[in-house]
Structure 1
């Protein structure tokens, strides 16, 4: 045993082991016997000379490795004057050495086990570096790499610099240097430490230095627009170059760091100069240049914020300027007004699409600016006067007339008009969707609701809808775009009432036809739900022709039998009919008139040649003064007639000029002229735009809008407070606007007044320690 121990000492074995170690370092051929002997010798020394053998082997191995590395360094430095040759020599030497880092440690596994205090049969952790491999890598790092890395990096950066200037070279040289840096680290927790602290750092610094010198000069010589193209192309070039020369594995973010560096020196440093061109580019619709600017500025923190501001400002200024320039045409024509708004929307949308690729941030700016144009009061102004004392304290601000004009345009499309007749069904539908698109941007949709309902009422009563299916579709589309349910439900109820009335008419006429009452066929009754259609203030008394007056009890009796307990209220304001007008010239004309016009004309039924004073007509018709003036004016100054049905004093210029002694008489020479020819027969519609509301009810409409706004604000505040229990003033106002935005935009003054009202009536209170905090009171 003692003899065997003596033969297994380091001094006896190393001379036989060393030649094989040197062959492995030099990548010289090693025979199978030499390879196996090395395993056996290491094992023997470590087992029989445990205390001294392993450290001695490690020390001898380290000396041979360092000696090999010193020789390799000498060979590399022979080419120090030529960057390419230096790198090529280094890569060659490193390649050989790194290959052996995978083979040389293998026979020394037992040595590593002994030096690390592990048992012979223990295994290395997969993520733990081999002791001999670590020795080899660390020795290379501390010897040749520390001495040559500066020169090596500089040489690699010179090659990259040459490539940036258009010179060709073997890119594998730079890639080889990069790979040596990556593979050199023996730190298993941070494999990229040496690469990151040296190669990556040098690459980023060289890139920044290159462009800091080149970029300002290029901008000065070529201007902003050419510079943007230059910056964009260089960013793309450098990103491709970085993917080739920088590490992309091990979760490395070198490419992102390089891109950030390039953005900083090529774009961020010139951000203000570049952005100065944005407003003019938007104004001149230079979409390609804007797209390029957007792609550059989107890489910069807050880079597009000024662009969003410039776009918003342009849309508001250009939109209002266009509306102002076309004001004369669009103020008298709702079709032209809506088409102008749609043209603006389409132009601005195309700009956002072409220049900013429909980026959501730019779409938001477009919407915000377009909303300003739609709700602007410079061209159109709608006053909502309030006389009701309970809400008179609420100061009303002038509002845009846009919702009213949108409702008028819808009416033109849905009513039998020259516009709706010349358009195909699909075109009408498309234009209605266009209206809904603009309606989304209207702040005070409750005004649109008021006018749309009035127009719909008129179309349903006069049966002038161009397409009943589209009428009902429009109601559903309003529901889809967020109109309040109670409003939409009222419109739906109106259609239901019309259908029920049709069935009632058939039944009523059948009963009276069987009784041989011929006039029943000429009467068409509409029994409507008061809640959905009108208010009591719309009821106006008028003396009806006897033939109509006689039928009122019969209709009431018929309806009473059908629905016991329901009471009918007659709304003559919403009625119309056809009368036959004959005169001395032999003319016979069918005139479609309102009930008020009928009441006035029947005053001459028994005395066709008499002149009747205004005072006598008021007594005969029992119409209120305002309605009588309006009705008479429609008969003495109907715009579509060259000759009028009634005549009066020539000095009358407006309905206000009528006095008690003003006299009126029937025009016995009345004729209709068509295509320049006198017509003795014909049909004429004198109803025009049937007035469905009285002056009093218009005031009620205005007050109703304001009163409803007050109630909506109160309701929404209570709803929020009930849900939140405690909320700050600012948060309450934000949530309130979000809830009410589909109907109207509440003013701060309105919100403040209703909050005070709710506090006064114990719905909520202020926090004792914070007056800006509200607390819900159950």
Structure 2
């Protein structure tokens, strides 16, 4: 006799099965049939939860396998690839749709089987929405039909993709349908894309690699590198678009990235050397479009652009130096042309980096590195900075003269010159900003600072600034580009001194008016300045002043003493100047002269027609030999006038030709000549470039630069050691360069010497176990 649960299964399954088959075939199911199926499954599972559910599950599996077997036969009836794919996709879509609906009535079956399996199964089921019946359907399809024909499906799909690559048209939905079946077929909760990755994705990658491995070498050989790059770039774009269509793109899936990497390896990496071999010539020929294409391709390859960066750097250095050397005849004598040449190079190289490499930071870094080499090159002209140590003349490494010429160009823009007069305010500002742009690449900015300060001193002393607002703006711009604060603060102090001095000057004139000395007051203009911000004491030069000036000096000192008790005035006649009226047989002329020129000319004031020897002039003026020679030469050979103020005998070609017996006399026929006509009245500036430094102080300038560098280097080393306490030699040098880069680039020799000096004077010492390790001594 049959058991009750078996009888119930046997009783109910024949009533359930017709509805199940209808659902598998996608036939129409009535509402009552649908509801009855729910009820029967529920009753069977409740009446006997031990034997009923497994038998329902097994019967369901049998019917599903029968249905799949029939579907397989319908698919395999088609031999042609497209027909096979269409048949498979059609069958799969029907079946996959039913994978959603068929499990619904069997909810109680799944609950019973899951609870029977283990207590924690329910929580696992909640984490995974794949039902038992759905898993059964997918696994059955996979085992029965998919495993049998998946190779044919893949091969057929890859043939269609291959045809598309060759320009043939087909229904792309066929490949997409196959991909979707691979993606949806897996029931593994840990990796839903496992079947897709192991089969479809791998097959697609292999087919793509094989296609281009066969085609790429032939195309390169037949069409050359430049055409190949265009073809490869187009192929990469097409494959990326194709991958977006045929491969899985859900979040977390890396199929498209993997395919792109595969294509890059086959199309670019394999031919990297052949492609890069063309780079140097392309850069030289400014073939920006082709370079941009090469950059796009090589940027996909690990370290692919490194050779391109090197080629760009070498081109900028070689081309930049070649252009500078070819124009050396003009730029060495004209700071404006020199700066314009540098700016032209920077503009050209920047344009190349922009057009060819889209201003990629890596290429801009190469541009900067190479341009810095050009700016600091010494092949066109160089600056020597000799130093004296223990009475021995030493020569340091020659440096570029660029900072000096940049300072000269700034002076031409900020001073009243033909250049500054023909430019608008905006144009001057633009050119100053360009100078600051070049200045960023100058290694030894301390040289620029020294010359810029000297030029600013001249402009403020002679009142020749074209625009006082621009002068003060320039100081702030220097601060913005990273110039050392102590240097910028000194410049700012100079402007403050001039403003304070103007107030003092007016107060002094008012005092002269009160003492009925209007005549002196009208002609006097004093500048009382802070010695620390302006000059060095070594630049004070003794000179015998004309009596008119000598009488005037005590009054200034007395006035200042009343205003500031305890302060001492030091007269720097090397910075002074004035206007004298010169009378001779021709006429009357106003001469703008330095104090030294004034002292020389006044030697003839009581004897206008006498000839005086060089030795007597030295006694009369009290000027040092070298300063007297320089001053006389400015009166004998001033380049802007045809008739000179002073004549000499015998004739001299340079100041060195003067001897103690050389005779000098006033040119009684001196006159200004304009348009070939002699003028009886006029004014001429004989100051030229006001000599702020003596020959002695010029040497001190150069030596001062080097000595200041030594002190700055020592300060920086001590600062680093104080902070780090213990540091390696390599790290110390690296941090030292970082600190000093806004002033100068210390040489390895200088760093080594200062480290030894600091060790000798017990600021630091070497580690006993490691000579490359330094330790700070508090």
- With the length of structure 1 as denominator, give the TM-score of the two structures: 0.97
Please name the residue that 2:191 is paired with: 190
Q: CA deviation at 1:33?
A: 2.8
User: Which deviations, in whole Å up to 9, do the C-alpha atoms of 1:157-182 show, x marking residues without a partner?
Assistant: 11111111111111111111111111
Please name the residue that 1:408 is paired with: 408
- For the aligned residue pairs, the C-alpha RMSD in angstroms reads 1.7
- Contact 1:8/1:45, CA 8 A, preserved across alignment: no
Q: CA deviation at 1:152?
A: 0.1
Structure 2 residue runs of 5 or longer lacking an equivalent are none
SS of the residue aligned with 1:247? Answer: coil
Please name the residue that 2:46 is paired with: 47
Question: Partners in 1 of 2:668 and 2:64 — Cα distance?
Answer: 130
SS of the residue aligned with 1:166? Answer: coil
Question: Partners in 1 of 2:64 and 2:6 — Cα distance?
Answer: 26
Please name the residue that 1:645 is paired with: 645
Counterpart check, 1:222 vs 2:223: yes
Question: Partners in 1 of 2:67 and 2:590 — Cα distance?
Answer: 120
Please name the residue that 2:69 is paired with: 70
SS of the residue aligned with 1:691? Answer: coil
**410-419 vs 497-506, which moves further:** 497-506
The verdict on how the C-alpha distance between 1:122 and 1:397 changes in structure 2, with shifts beyond 3 A counting, is closer
Equivalent residue runs for 1:195-594 within 5 Å: 195-389=196-390, 396-517=396-517, 518-584=519-585, 586-594=586-594
- Contact 2:5/2:51, CA 8 A, preserved across alignment: no
User: Which deviations, in whole Å up to 9, do the C-alpha atoms of 1:333-391 show, x marking residues without a partner?
Assistant: 0000000000000011111111111111111111000000000000010000112439x
Question: Partners in 2 of 1:73 and 1:658 — Cα distance?
Answer: 118
User: Which deviations, in whole Å up to 9, do the C-alpha atoms of 1:108-155 show, x marking residues without a partner?
Assistant: 222222322359996841424211111110111111111111100110
SS of the residue aligned with 2:130? Answer: coil
Please name the residue that 1:609 is paired with: 609
Aligned length: 774
The verdict on how the C-alpha distance between 1:6 and 1:236 changes in structure 2, with shifts beyond 3 A counting, is closer
User: Which deviations, in whole Å up to 9, do the C-alpha atoms of 1:707-735 show, x marking residues without a partner?
Assistant: 11111111111222222222221111111
SS of the residue aligned with 2:378? Answer: coil
Please name the residue that 1:115 is paired with: 113
The verdict on how the C-alpha distance between 1:667 and 1:158 changes in structure 2, with shifts beyond 3 A counting, is same
SS of the residue aligned with 2:100? Answer: coil
Please name the residue that 1:95 is paired with: 93
- Contact 2:645/2:667, CA 8 A, preserved across alignment: yes
User: Which deviations, in whole Å up to 9, do the C-alpha atoms of 1:566-598 show, x marking residues without a partner?
Assistant: 0000011111111111112x3211111111111
Structure 1 residue runs of 5 or longer lacking an equivalent are none
**23-32 vs 628-637, which moves further:** 23-32
User: Which deviations, in whole Å up to 9, do the C-alpha atoms of 1:429-459 show, x marking residues without a partner?
Assistant: 1000000000000000000000000000011
Question: Partners in 2 of 1:117 and 1:768 — Cα distance?
Answer: 75
Counterpart check, 1:776 vs 2:776: yes
Question: Partners in 2 of 1:33 and 1:395 — Cα distance?
Answer: 109
Please name the residue that 1:130 is paired with: 131
- Contact 2:650/2:662, CA 8 A, preserved across alignment: no
- Contact 2:759/2:765, CA 8 A, preserved across alignment: yes
**90-99 vs 23-32, which moves further:** 23-32
SS of the residue aligned with 2:354? Answer: helix
Equivalent residue runs for 1:622-661 within 5 Å: 622-661=622-661
Q: CA deviation at 1:69?
A: 1.1
User: Which deviations, in whole Å up to 9, do the C-alpha atoms of 1:688-717 show, x marking residues without a partner?
Assistant: 111000111111111211111111111111
Q: CA deviation at 1:66?
A: 1.4
- Contact 2:385/2:395, CA 8 A, preserved across alignment: no
Counterpart check, 1:723 vs 2:719: no
Question: Partners in 2 of 1:393 and 1:64 — Cα distance?
Answer: 107
Please name the residue that 1:79 is paired with: 78
SS of the residue aligned with 1:590? Answer: strand
Question: Partners in 2 of 1:108 and 1:771 — Cα distance?
Answer: 81
- Contact 1:394/1:750, CA 8 A, preserved across alignment: no
SS of the residue aligned with 1:102? Answer: helix
Q: CA deviation at 1:393?
A: 9.2
- Contact 1:411/1:456, CA 8 A, preserved across alignment: yes
**425-434 vs 713-722, which moves further:** 713-722
The verdict on how the C-alpha distance between 1:249 and 1:564 changes in structure 2, with shifts beyond 3 A counting, is same
**622-631 vs 635-644, which moves further:** 635-644
Question: Partners in 2 of 1:46 and 1:771 — Cα distance?
Answer: 85
Q: CA deviation at 1:250?
A: 4.1
Please name the residue that 2:148 is paired with: 147
SS of the residue aligned with 2:581? Answer: strand
Q: CA deviation at 1:7?
A: 7.0
